[in-house]
Amino acid sequence: MIFVTGGAGFIGSNFILNWIKSNAEEVVNLDKLTYAGNLENLASVQANSKHIFIEGDIGDLELVTKLLDKYQPRAVINFAAESHVDRSIHTPEAFVKTNMLGTFWLLEAVKNYWNRLDEIAKNNFRLLHVSTDEVYGTLDKQAPAFNEENRYEPNSPYSASKAASDHLVRSYHHTYGLPVLTTNCSNNYGPFQFPEKLIPLMIVNALEGKSLPIYGDGQQIRDWLYVEDHCVAICKVLESGSVGETYNIGGWNEKPNLDIVHEVCSILDESKPRSDQKSYREQITYVKDRPGHDRRYAIDARKIERELNWKPAETFETGIRKTVQWYLENWQWIANVQSGVYRDWVEKNYVGRT
C-alpha cells in the first residue's frame, strides 16, 4: 500500500481518487482537516476498503511512526502543506509550522521506518515530496522557464517555507540515504479546489453576483496545470523517477491572470448567462496588488517528458471548460465549504484592497 499525507486537500484528494480508480493498492490517507481539507472531496470512496482515512498531523511523530509501522507502506507521498500565498502574508507562522517543521517530523518518522525495513523493502521504498514552482521566485517576461537547475529565490512566506521543506527532503537523501523524489508543479486548477484560489473564486463570485477582484493590472503570468494531469505525472515519478531527482511538472499554458478571468467569464456567459444578458466581465474590479507579488512563473517540463514520457493531456481550453462545468454541477459542495470562517477571510483579503 501507499501512505498519503494531506489527502483531503485539493491536489491530494484528486490524487487519491485517481489512484483508487487506476490501482489495486490500498491508500492510507493522513490529513489534519484544516480549513482546506475536506472529506467531502472523497465522498465517492468513503465506503471503499482501499481508502483508509486517519485524521492527524504530519508533525505528530508518535502518530506517524505508529501508522507507518502498522500499515508498512512501500511509498509515502507528501501533499500536506499550507499553500495560499495571501494567507502566508497574514499568518506566516502557520506556514513555518506545517511546511517546515511538519516536513521535518515527517522525514524523521519516515527515515526511522525506512531504516527498520529489510534490504529488499528498503530498495523499493520511496518518499515523494510534492512542491511548487514558487520556490524559484519570479521571472522576467522574456526569461526562459524554470528548469530543475534554477536556484531557489522564494519571495513569500509560503514559497520560503516550501523551499525550506524541499531542502530538508534533499538533505535527508544526501545525509541519510533516504530514497526521495521531489516534484515542483505550476498552478493547479480543477475539481475540489477551495474557493480562495483564482479560478474557483471567480466562478463562485460571478454566479453569486459579486465583484471579480483582480490584483493590480491583472498581468501576472502563471503556467496552468489541470490537476488530473498533475496526478498522472506524480504516479509516473513514483513509478519510474530516479532517486534523489527533482521533476518540474507544468501544463505549457502561460497566461496572465486577467486572461484567465476573461475565459471563465466567457464560458459562464455561454453556460449560465446572467439574467440581464450582460457579460460576467462587467463584475471585474481591480484591487490593490498583494505585497511582493511575483510577476511571472513558467515551468520547463521537458525533463519529465524526456525521462518519464509524461506530458499533459489537457490544454487550458479543455481543462478550464471541465473545471467550470464541475463547479456548475457541484454547487452544494461549494455551499458546504463556504463557512463563516471562509467568508470572513475573503472579506479581509479582498474587500480591504478595493
Q: Are 248 and 312 in contact (CB under 8 A)?
A: no
Q: Are 261 and 285 in contact (CB under 8 A)?
A: no
| Cell (9 digits) for 260 | 484567465
| Cell (9 digits) for 115 | 531504516
Q: What is the largest CA-CA distance in the chain?
A: 68
Among the listed residues 134, 223, 229, 300, the single catalytic one is: 134
| Cell (9 digits) for 299 | 515551468
Among the listed residues 31, 57, 82, 158, the single catalytic one is: 158
Q: Are 268 and 324 in contact (CB under 8 A)?
A: yes
CA separation, residue 11 to residues 67, 185, 194, 201 (Å): 22, 11, 10, 17
Whether residue 259 lies in the annotated active site: no
Among the listed residues 31, 57, 86, 133, the single catalytic one is: 133
Whether residue 282 lies in the annotated active site: no
| Cell (9 digits) for 123 | 530498495
What is the sign, positive or negative, of the torsion defined by CA atoms of 190, 195, 198, 200?
positive
CA distance 114 to 121: 8
Which phi and psi angles does 55 have, rounded to 5°?
A: -80, 125
Whether residue 55 lies in the annotated active site: no
The residues annotated with a catalytic role in the active site are: 133-134, 158
